[in-house]
Amino acid sequence: MKILVPVKRVASLDDEFELNDDGRDVDPDFCEFDLNEFDEYALEAAVQIKEAAPEGSVEVVVLTIGPDDADDVLRKALAKGADRAIRVDDAGLEEADRVAIARVIAKVAENEEPGLVLCGAQSADQGNAQTGMSVAALLGWARTAVVSKLDFTPGAATAQVERELEGGLVERIEVETPAVLTIQLGINTPRYASLRSIKQANAKPIECLTPHDVGLADAEIGGAGALSRVRRVFVPERGRGEIIAGTPSQQVARLLEIISEVNG
Amino acid sequence: MIPSGIDPSKVTRILFQDFSPWMLAIFYVYAIGCMAAFAWGVYAQVHKYRAGRRGTRLAWGDIGRRLLDTAKTIASHRTLRRRDTTAGRLHAFIFYGFTLLFIGTATITLQEDILGPLIGLEFWHGHFYLLFKLTMTLAGTGFICGLLYMMWRRGWLKPPKLDYARPDRTPQDADFSRERYRIEDWAFLWTLLLIGITGFLLSGARMVWLQNDPAVWDTRWWAPVGASIAAGLKAVGFTSAGAGALRMGLWWLHGVLALTFIALIPYTKAKHIFTAAASWLLRNPEAIRHLPLGDLDADRIGYRELGDVASRYLVQADACTKCGRCHEACPARAAGYPLSPRDVVLTLREQANTHLGEVLPKPRAAGCAAPLIGLATGEYRPETLWSCRQCGACTEICPVGVEHVPLINMLRRTLVDEGEMDPALQRTLGAVNKTGNCFNESRRKRPNWTKDLPFKIKDARKEPVDVLWFVGDYASFDPRNQKVSRAFARILHSAGIDFGILYEGETTAGNDVRRVGEEGLFQQLAEGNISTLGDCSFNRIVTTDPHSFNTLKNEYPDLGGTYDVSHASAFLKELMADGRITPARKLDFTVTYHDPCHLGRLNKGYDAPRELLAATGVKLVEMGKSRDNSFCCGGGGGRVWVPDPPGTTKVGEIRAREAAEIHGLDALVVNCPKCMTMLEDAVKTTGNERNFRVLELTELLAEALEPEEPAVLPAHAEVG
């Protein structure tokens, strides 16, 4: 049985950064890139299932969509216990939104036929929390979002999962497999991938595919397959603040002034 | 010397006098049996050591110097006298007594069994014999005095370091008890003492037995202890015949004890006679400042199983005499962490004895596969390994040259490879990998501390400089340490030094990443920095950070980066000696100085900081633990990144309290950015914030350099 773990190379921003000329994204020069933290938990959950099963019976496949720079996160995933890595090149995916990305993942899932798809609950940089659920919708599989506990024996017809609700409630769900689950932080303790194991993972091949290779039609790729489009990214103007100084009566006078100003 | 009328050739001891042939036969059979047992024991130990990995860095070209150093160290007992002078001196009594007695016995064997039968050479009589007797008496007396002191020390003084309590185990654990060692210690002392005492009694009994032979009786005072015993025996009514019977009994007791002792040497703590010398000979004198370069492509990067351990460390484990100096010096142990360097060594010894055999060698393949790390009996627990600060206090004080620091580091490499570590540490290593610094800050921010300076520091990547200042993480990113960095920059600037930094191009030097056990990341960082430095033109490197200093100086050469590296304190001392900086006023403070491990113990930089302090005019009051015995701030070995568990004493707090004992203290002077962070915190948590400040040596010096009235900064010297 296979477990497919789609992972994302996410950006974290410097304190100071600049936007691209088109104003629709941050200039990558001002970003540090790393494996999405949520995906680390999803990967760890998959690797723990594999390690609990008889040796060789479970294969953990990691998938990412991006340029060859994204191989870094696949290497890290391989170092952390994934068996095989696939990268779908993002050429032609510039205008892709999370649904268009989900189309790629869903196609790979159809080809690989995993028993489970484990996604991070969301990405650390964009936080849509939609990709995983979109994959499930496209595949028509059972799905559960924001899973905080996962109990699954490879080959079983169902997985037992738990979700945390408001007020300390826990919801226990039985999900039919194959299923798509999105994994919450804290479900486990992701292991550290030492630099040595990452270097050793360099020796493992990464399967590199194009969207066409995985079986997508032109009408499903990139902007054509997207349901939304980013118009602008910007930093909103900050609200003003003022510290009112002086004697209590001066302060009251200034406060009244501000109130009348705001009320117009 | 020899009374007249006595033939000098008769002045001797007739060996086996009045022994029947079967007695002689029994004796020789037993003696040869004991030698065989000894030889078998040596074989078993060597078999055990050879199960370890090769690859000691013992260069054969160096062997002469090493042998000489070993001989000197043993002869002077230098390392045994450190921090335990009396025990060291009395050990010298035992050592020299034992050695002389052994040489004495060997001399007799030489004549009786070798030279006599072969070439008929007989020398053991006459004046030589009398001097021999006197020497043996002196040796035996010293030997017994030493042993009695050791018994008194163990039985009555009971120093805590000898109680063998294991901080890494609880009484519920199967391997908690060290009772076996305690029994062995006493058996060892008693056996030696009985050998010594029976030797003297035997000497006295023989004199009474042979009282009618003037060659014996009239020369008896050459063995004054034996002669006194003889007088006593006569006084209580022993006749010649009675004494003869006593002599026969004592002879056998003494002989059997001595031979049995020899047979048991390889199987008991007595083996330290050989292993301690071997350990010192094989030791790496660089052990604490220069960790072994790991092969990232090998099957294993660290020690996971017994067979991974270097042979040298297995010899060292057998050399340990449980003297407790490392146990006493260890800051983690003092703060109540589950670590004692002594138990790290003994655990290795016990694993090797259990799985490879101490008496009967066991199959090597199975023994080598015995796991080292885990929660089972006899294994290293991960929390023990993570408690270590890699401060080197244990290795530095070990009288027999055990290298605890690299041993623990090699075990940690396995933990890191398996990803078994504190989540906080995991986050830090992740950040270092991602951003090149342990603050998880953007690379761009590294030079931000320079923005408040009234001058621009040169970018060493863009123009040649004389001095390349490697700033380091804490000095770059930590707000408190940034002040120190600016103070150092101002000193260099006003002294007209042509210096530059690497700006965004610097990444953490990796000293502590390596000490954590993340060898792969260390090598990546070092290779990155070496490549950056390779593109720059400079004459020397200076750093205020002793951790960066240590790895740049001692460890980068392994990866192809060899530089002239100085710590800021040594560099400033040079500037002062050259007259490029001169204190403008005397500071009226009482201070104490905390030696950073990486500058002091690891690199012997004890004096330059003190000379700078003296130049500022402050009154320096030393703490009890200073220089080589300095006490870690708690931040070494990557522990600066791992929070201490709630409820534990922080290592730094012990240090802050020690400083607080100094009457009228104004400042605790540190000389390392990590010590600054750890001790400033500890001074607060021990409630000493209002009693004294924590200051960097550089800050103090900067203050002394400034005249009372701010002067105009001298013009910056021309670029060299």
Q: Give yes or no for residue B712 having a pLDDT over 50.
A: no
- Choose, out of B428, B442, B519, B525, the residue to mutate when testing the contact with A (most A CBs < 10 Å): B442
- The pLDDT assigned to B398 comes to 97
Of the candidates B301, B416, B519, the beta carbon closest to that of A192 is on B416
- The pLDDT assigned to B60 comes to 75
- Mean pLDDT along residues B592-597: 98
CB pair distance less than 8 Å for B423 and A189: yes
- Mean pLDDT along residues B274-288: 95
Q: Give yes or no for residue B386 having a pLDDT over 80.
A: yes
Of the candidates A14, A80, A197, the beta carbon closest to that of B417 is on A197
Mean per-residue pLDDT over chain A, rounded: 92
Alpha carbon of B648 to those of A204, B420, B644, B667: distances in Å? 44, 22, 7, 26
Alpha carbon of A111 to those of A100, A107, B485: distances in Å? 17, 6, 58
pLDDT in tens, A153-177: 998 999 999 999 999 899 999 999 9
Structure tokens, B21: 């042939």
CATH number of A2-239: 3.40.50.620
Structure tokens, B352: 């090797």
Q: Give yes or no for residue B720 having a pLDDT over 50.
A: no
**Chain A 11-30, CB below 8 Å of chain B: which residues?**
14-16
Band of the pLDDT at B715, cuts 50, 70, 90? very low
Using CA atoms, how far apart are residues B670 and B699, in angstroms rounded to an integer?
A: 10
CB pair distance less than 8 Å for A14 and B433: no
- The pLDDT assigned to B121 comes to 85
Q: What percent of chain B has pLDDT over 70?
A: 97
pLDDT in tens, A67-108: 999 999 999 999 999 999 999 998 888 889 999 999 999 999
Which residues of chain A are within 8 Å of residue B519 when distances are taken between CB atoms? 195-196
Question: What SS3 state is found at A4?
Answer: strand
- The pLDDT assigned to B711 comes to 45
Which residues of chain A are within 8 Å of residue B294 when distances are taken between CB atoms? 196
Q: How many helices (H) and strands (E) does chain A have?
A: 6, 12
Q: Give yes or no for residue B687 having a pLDDT over 50.
A: yes
Q: Give yes or no for residue B276 having a pLDDT over 60.
A: yes
Which residues, 6+ apart, have CB-to-CB distance to B427 below 8 Å? B440
Which residues of chain A are within 8 Å of residue B520 when distances are taken between CB atoms? 194-199
Using CA atoms, how far apart are residues B129 and B13, in angstroms rounded to an integer?
A: 8
Alpha-carbon gap: A38 to the closest alpha carbon of chain B (Å): 14
- The pLDDT assigned to B714 comes to 44
- The pLDDT assigned to A29 comes to 84
In CATH terms, the fold of domain B287-420 is Fumarate Reductase Iron-sulfur Protein; Chain B, domain 2 (1.10.1060)
CB pair distance less than 8 Å for B442 and A15: yes
CB pair distance less than 8 Å for A199 and B444: no
Which residues of chain B are within 8 Å of residue A34 when distances are taken between CB atoms? 430, 434
Alpha-carbon gap: A73 to the closest alpha carbon of chain B (Å): 11
Task: Give the residue with greater pLDDT, B460 vs B15.
Answer: B460
Structure tokens, B8: 């000098």
Nearest-CA residue of chain A relative to B425? A192
The full set of domain ranges for chain B reads 84-279, 287-420, 426-705
Which residues of chain A are within 8 Å of residue B418 when distances are taken between CB atoms? 191
- Mean pLDDT along residues B275-280: 96
Q: Give yes or no for residue B302 having a pLDDT over 60.
A: yes
Which residues of chain B are within 8 Å of residue A9 when distances are taken between CB atoms? none
Using CA atoms, how far apart are residues B393 and B332, in angstroms rounded to an integer?
A: 11
Q: Answer whether A1 touches B (CB < 8 Å).
A: no
Cα angle vertex B35, ends B31, B36, to 5°? 115
- The pLDDT assigned to B716 comes to 45
Alpha-carbon gap: B524 to the closest alpha carbon of chain A (Å): 8
Task: Write out the residues of chain B at the interface with chain A, using a CB-CB cutoff of 8 A.
Answer: 294, 296-297, 301, 416-419, 421, 423, 426, 429-430, 433-435, 442, 444-445, 518-521, 523-524
Which range among A27-31, B277-281, B413-417 shows the weakest confidence by mean pLDDT? Answer: A27-31
Alpha-carbon gap: A34 to the closest alpha carbon of chain B (Å): 7
pLDDT in tens, B459-514: 999 999 999 999 999 999 999 999 999 999 999 999 999 999 999 999 999 999 99
Band of the pLDDT at B183, cuts 50, 70, 90? very high
Q: What percent of chain B has pLDDT over 90?
A: 89
Using CA atoms, how far apart are residues A12 and B710, in angstroms rounded to an integer?
A: 45
Which residues of chain A are within 8 Å of residue B444 when distances are taken between CB atoms? 14, 16
Structure tokens, A171: 């919801």
Which range among A229-238, B226-235, B621-630, B702-711 shows the weakest confidence by mean pLDDT? Answer: B702-711
Of the candidates B434, B442, B518, the beta carbon closest to that of A194 is on B518
Which residues of chain A are within 8 Å of residue B433 when distances are taken between CB atoms? 195
Using CA atoms, how far apart are residues B185 and B180, in angstroms rounded to an integer?
A: 9
Q: Answer whether A186 touches B (CB < 8 Å).
A: no
Q: Give φ, ψ of A111 to 5 degrees.
A: -70, -40
Mean per-residue pLDDT over chain B, rounded: 94
Given CA atoms B124, B128, B130, B134 in this order, what sign does their dihedral have?
Answer: negative
**Is the CB of residue B703 less than 8 Å from the CB of residue B587?**
yes
- Mean pLDDT along residues B435-458: 94
The full set of domain ranges for chain A reads 2-239
Band of the pLDDT at B57, cuts 50, 70, 90? low
Q: In what order do the strands lie in the sheet with B693-696?
A: B619-620, B590-593, B667-670, B693-696
Structure tokens, A147: 């899973």
CB pair distance less than 8 Å for B419 and A195: no
Of the candidates B294, B426, B445, the beta carbon closest to that of A192 is on B426
CB pair distance less than 8 Å for B435 and A189: no
pLDDT in tens, B520-529: 999 999 999 9
Query: Could you write out the three-class secondary structure of B367-398?
Result: HHCCECECCCCCCECHHHHHHCCCCCHHHHHC
CB pair distance less than 8 Å for B434 and A16: no
- The one-letter code for the residue type at B576 is M
Nearest-CA residue of chain B relative to A193? B419
Structure tokens, B651: 């290592």
Alpha-carbon gap: A16 to the closest alpha carbon of chain B (Å): 9
Q: Give yes or no for residue A12 having a pLDDT over 80.
A: yes
- In degrees to the nearest 10, what's the CA dihedral of B130, B133, B135, B138? -130
